[in-house]
Chains A and B, each alone.
Chain A
């Protein structure tokens, strides 16, 4: 769907976090390459059916350098040991300067260190959970709504749709399109020129749609599917 070529995810660690991250990624159709430094866990990963799982000492830079990391791959550091995780991020940043590094942290201090070590995105276990509690307290409905997206058996989805060549949307102003009649809610656009940043419609977006633009809609899956089929039409269906 996205314009960019998607590489694989290299997941370091198959421990208490790594397990669920790797499993969920695979379920989501992502190509997962597992790296583990513990023999027993490596065996477990193989048993679970991960075809690409290697046993590598993550403190050894030479061994890390031999990993088949290509351009566009994401490096996911989810080792159980905080210190090892920071060390790993530091090594990976030096070895693969152009790859995106994501790391999971389970303390405030580690978050800061991981960022300094060069992680592009750090997910702080406690910060995320604390935010979730705040949301439950102050915006229960909104929280349930968002959880509807995150849930594996989601009710509604969030979809990026590229406007095809020759679509009736081509050349239309945004405010003249009534997305609601297709059962979907238009919430924003991806601006490719601004480094794929996401612009919400609520900022007062005024835009003339062109073929190749990426719009972001939410809706039930079947409605989104139908909408995607419809926008290739030349004339807006009545």
Chain B
């Protein structure tokens, strides 16, 4: 009878777990909560974070205020119930998203069905609970839990736990959490040091207690000796307890000497931890910075080509980041004043750090190695086909491979230069003209004018626009409707939204034309 009841309960729980596990709505809600709490790019996370930070700060402020001033009742209620309630909800939500309890249960159930073994509910539950407990034991979760405690009225002592709310800021302040991370990396050294500190302090305390307990009126117990030992070893030396016998002073000397050595050791450990982590932290900041941009370049490889690329006057127009595997090259780039990080762009993890979904990303493959360039091209295209890839190729034979890998533009430096050379010889006038146009001299700039929705030219025919009056030459129109390029368009070609006009003229004239054809100021820029 009892056994059957137990089986009933087990099957009940399993059914409930399966139901939860398969429910799309639950999963969606959970995803959204997770997104809100953990996804840095979620726009609402910032709002949520600021809200929590406000609660923390107000709560701590109330704690201090309350020491000397009477508190209005509503503020007391706010602090004790509202803030704690929000924190409690936050805690529960974090616990909820920490692991998939129902999923674990279902998985265990399915496994036992698959191998034909009787399902043991207790074991499955234990597995789920263990994961939750593992989360609850993380420092962040413990702090979260303690921060809720001040709400428990009967123990006024718990008020001091408001300070744990302060610690909650750790989660919400990046610089503090990074500091903790850095220290955590040196856990072994610091713990060794701490162990040594405890050992010497206790030894000193015991020695002083044994030697001076009788003579010294300041020492009332072992705690006093321990307190003195710590104050001395840290070189703080309040002086409220001082050794009176010669033996006591010898102990003090030994402890002080040890203390100085230990402090310098601890300092050096922390400093070295920081200098080791500093570049990494800086790189993270650079990546974060660039990810906020709408459009940016990822330049792979810092060689001749990249250097030349950045020497160009247009280079400052784009946000960029340089990646190179070779730390020496990156050093050189940083020395030349560019933002560069050591990373291998052919790795999935490297490129997926960037905000390829939200921004318009262009990858320039400029390493000397074709194999590497192709690998980077493939990598970028596999992460998101929308990433534009411009690659340099070493030989004409390999261009096909780049195209198959999905590169949008393939450039053969040798061929580009050879073509220029041949043009300079065979068609010197054209070479001069093209050179002038491409090096963007003011006189004969070749420029593109995009017809945005606020453009006065929409619906007009090419013949109606007074290009001559602006001293511009209309060379062609790229029609947005079918993507064809009309060279020297006839007068009756109608200009539509999304078209691109290719014009040539003085820079000032082009700017003037652009401005005057714009209906709403500032909205027709490229």
Contacts and interface: CB of A to CB of B under 8 A. Distances in A.
Interface stretch (A39-47, A49-57, A129-137, A162-170): A129-137
Interface in B374-430: 390, 392, 409, 411, 413-430
A203 B308 CA distance: 30
Given A136-B390, A136-B409, A146 B421 contact: no
A127 B308 contact: yes
A158 B433 CA distance: 10
A20 B396 CA distance: 11
Given A129-B416, A136-B409, A137-B318, A21 B438 contact: no
A33 to B, nearest CB: 13
A139 B448 CA distance: 7
A112 to B, nearest CB: 13
B417 A145 contact: no
A125 B394 CA distance: 12
B429 A158 contact: yes
A150 B426 CA distance: 11
B472 interface: yes
Interface residues of A, number: 68
Interface stretch (B3-11, B347-355, B501-509): B501-509
A135 B415 contact: no
B502 A145 contact: yes
Contact of B473 (A134, A139, A183, A202): A202
B186 interface: no
Interface in B439-458: 439, 443-444, 446-448
A115 to B, nearest CB: 15
A190 B429 contact: yes
Contact of A216 (B314, B433, B478): B433
Interface stretch (A22-30, A63-71, A86-94, A228-236): A22-30
Contacts of A201: 473
Interface in B468-514: 468, 471-473, 475-476, 478, 485, 487-488, 500, 502, 504-506, 509
18 contacts: A25-B426, A126-B308, A129-B416, A133-B390, A133-B411, A137-B390, A141-B502, A142-B446, A146-B434, A149-B430, A158-B430, A160-B429, A180-B488, A185-B473, A200-B433, A200-B436, A202-B443, A216-B429
Given A185-B473, A200-B436, 18 more contacts: A2-B428, A9-B425, A20-B415, A102-B424, A108-B308, A123-B417, A123-B421, A123-B424, A139-B446, A141-B476, A141-B502, A146-B437, A146-B446, A149-B434, A158-B429, A187-B433, A200-B504, A202-B506
